Copies of this chain bind each other. A is one copy, B any other.
């Protein structure tokens, strides 16, 4: 299992973004568009200078938009995952 550190999250990118359950259509002009994917794991949050934890803004299982070029990709047990900062997550698709 991958355990993200501090304010990082693990996301499984939504490959066939053409048409998805929540009606998102990604046309070719969408190259610059934010990407979409599912939250697989969430870090504990960033430690503030005060020593308290800054809570995370997303939860495991949520479908989210994130900045197109954000994060670093790893391959783990045959699957590709993105390791992102919480700040790179733009919105939750409900």
Known: A49-B49, A52-B51, A83-B65. A1 touches B76 (CB 8 A): no
Number of interface residues of A (CB under 8 A): 46
Residues of B within 8 A of A32 (CB): 72-73
Query: Chain A 68-94 against B: per-residue CB contact (8 Å), 1 yes, 0 no?
Result: 100011111110000100010111111
Tell whether, in the assembled complex, residue A24 and residue B90 are in contact, meaning their CB atoms are under 8 Å apart: no
Distance of A33 Cα from B89 Cα, bound (Å): 20
Tell whether, in the assembled complex, residue B49 and residue A94 are in contact, meaning their CB atoms are under 8 Å apart: no
A window 21-38: CB within 8 A of B: 22-27, 30, 32-34
Tell whether, in the assembled complex, residue B91 and residue A27 are in contact, meaning their CB atoms are under 8 Å apart: no
19 contacts between A and B (CB under 8 A): A2-B65, A2-B91, A2-B93, A5-B91, A6-B87, A8-B91, A22-B77, A23-B76, A24-B75, A25-B78, A30-B75, A33-B75, A49-B49, A49-B50, A50-B51, A51-B54, A65-B72, A68-B72, A83-B90
